[in-house]
Amino acid sequence: MIKFNEPNDGQVISFKDGSIVTPDKPIVPYIIGDGIGIDVTPVMKRVLNYAIGKAYGVSKEIKWMEIYAGQQALDICGQLLPQETIDAMKKYRVSIKGPLTTPIGNGFKSINVSIRQQLDLFACVRPIRYFPGTNSPMVESNLTDMVVFRENTEDLYSGIEWKPDSDGAKKIIEFIKNELGESPFRFEKNCGIGIKPVSKEGSERLINMAIDFALNEKRDSLTIVHKGNIMKYTEGAFRDWAYELVKNKYHGSVNKDGTYTIKCPKSNHVLTIKDCIADNFLQQIILVPEQHEVIATLNLNGDYISDALAAQVGGIGIAPGANIGDGYGVFEATHGSAESFAGKNRVNPSSIILSGEMMLRYMGWDEAADYVLKGVIGAIQKKQLTFDLARARAGKKFIRPKSKEKNTAEEIKQELMKLVPGATLVSTQGFGDAVIDNM
């Protein structure tokens, strides 16, 4: 059994009347994460602590409590995700984590998926925005400004699958053949099987959260992204349930072009609801990104879309993410663990810093969140960059010479100075300092 070091003077965040209630000294569990988590997570904590102090003085403070998952947990207790970690996330409601790696194959279930399912974090929320000074493949990157709401607990990511030629796969194949009266399988042997559950309840709560966000933030449009032209009873149902919700709960009116309009009763703001087939949507976000603001979609589509959009504004390294349920929020770095860079104090910590900014807003500490955002924007604009962020800004990949010799730090610095003239190359910790200096 694992025991965590709970702060004696901390308080527990509560959930009342559908809202998070944050005390002045909340206990917030954090997971350092695998690989570069050891570099980026401490920097995030330091940046958030400074922003909170700048916004509120000594009246408010996060009481951090380390919990374990991933390799660290495996080393301590032989489990990738101990039950004590899940229990702590439930008790304290709001937590943040560095990148976690799940071994491929070998029967390990994704740690991230397990956390989402066990806490019923049904919405993966990914804001995608452009930070001036960041290079991207887009001519007008500032036109990409979206928030993706991705259903987080169903679809093909639910983990219901059977290995090829396993007894379970054979039984499912036989059952489907009997139900349909014929075999729909091109090849029955060596055939793996996965199940794609999509429910009305699961779809509606995700879409409801997306609509409420769009109305509260006075966004002009919400797009339901689906592949309902092919998967009619799952993806198609998701689209149909969305429009039913718009009509029945929000009293939406249909327009001549088939879209719907909702008027917010408090602000009279008008929101347009439309839908788009997923493959067409992936074209539109490149050709006309300004036509989409808030996105509601299923799990697999949302995974592709979130990362594709992140590339349009400079890469996943500056993309934050949150997993939200009823009264629970887990915020996370959206990139991988990059094991080869672990402990080198070189990588860009923006993703987890900006996820921390999202966490502060979720807690109701908007003033502190504003300072974090201001700091990140200022650091990037002033070219205070880690090597990977500088490389992204230059819009180029760092090309290593064809030799077995590793580049020295000075050689890397000189090369990146050529790519971004006038830049100040900083370490992971140095970028945190730059964010603080620019608040």
Give dist(CA 149, CA 155) in Å, integer.
Answer: 14
Its pTM stands at 0.89
Query: Are 149 and 123 spatial neighbours (Cβ–Cβ below 8 Å)?
Result: yes
Give dist(CA 212, CA 198) in Å, integer.
Answer: 21
pLDDT of residue 402: 45
Give dist(CA 153, CA 299) in Å, integer.
Answer: 7
* Tens-digit pLDDT profile for residues 159-209: 899 999 999 999 999 999 999 999 999 999 999 999 999 999 999 999 999
Listed in sequence order, the residues at least 6 apart from 347 whose beta carbon sits closer than 8 Å to its beta carbon are 36, 39, 40, 317, 338, 341, 386, 387, 388, 428
CA–centroid distance for 200 within its chain: 23
Provide the token pair at 323: 């997993």
pLDDT of residue 403: 47
pLDDT of residue 322: 96
Active site residues: 157, 227, 279, 303
pLDDT of residue 417: 64
Listed in sequence order, the residues at least 6 apart from 295 whose beta carbon sits closer than 8 Å to its beta carbon are 146, 147, 148, 149, 210, 222, 223, 225, 302, 305
Tell which CATH architecture fits domain 122-149+200-325. Answer: 3-Layer(aba) Sandwich (3.40)
CATH fold match for the domains 1-120+326-382 and 122-149+200-325? yes
Query: Are 70 and 83 spatial neighbours (Cβ–Cβ below 8 Å)?
Result: no
Q: HEC profile for 98-165?
A: CCCCCCCCCCCCCHHHHHHHHCCCCEEEEEECCCCCCCCCCCCHHHCCEEEEEECCCHHHHCCEECCC
pLDDT of residue 421: 66
The DSSP code sequence of 371-401 is: HHHHHHHHHHHTTEE-HHHHHHHHTS-----
Longest CA–CA separation in the chain, Å: 71
* Tens-digit pLDDT profile for residues 277-308: 999 999 999 999 999 999 999 999 999 999 99
Phi first, then psi: what are they for 334, rounded to 5°?
A: -95, -10
Q: Hey, how many other C-beta atoms are within 10 angstroms of the C-beta on 185?
A: 12
Does 1-120+326-382 carry CATH code 3.40.718.10? yes
Give dist(CA 222, CA 265) in Å, integer.
Answer: 17
Give dist(CA 178, CA 394) in Å, integer.
Answer: 58
* β-strand partners of 322: 125, 331
pLDDT of residue 413: 64
Domain boundaries, the chain: 1-120+326-382, 122-149+200-325
Residue carrying structure tokens 């019923």: 120
Q: Would you write out the chain's pLDDT as a tens digit for each of its 439 residues?
A: 788 999 999 999 999 988 999 999 999 999 999 999 999 999 999 999 999 999 999 999 999 999 999 989 988 888 899 999 999 999 999 999 999 986 665 556 788 888 998 999 999 999 999 888 777 777 788 899 999 999 999 999 888 999 999 999 999 999 999 999 999 999 999 999 999 999 999 999 999 999 999 999 999 999 999 999 999 999 999 999 999 999 999 999 999 999 999 998 888 899 999 999 999 999 999 999 999 999 999 999 999 999 999 888 877 778 899 999 999 999 999 888 888 888 888 889 999 999 999 999 999 999 999 999 999 999 988 888 887 776 655 555 444 444 445 556 666 666 666 666 677 788 899 999 999 999 9
pLDDT of residue 360: 98
Q: Hey, how many other C-beta atoms are within 10 angstroms of the C-beta on 109?
A: 12
Give dist(CA 335, CA 427) in Å, integer.
Answer: 18
Q: Hey, how many other C-beta atoms are within 10 angstroms of the C-beta on 319?
A: 25
Residue carrying structure tokens 């050891």: 38
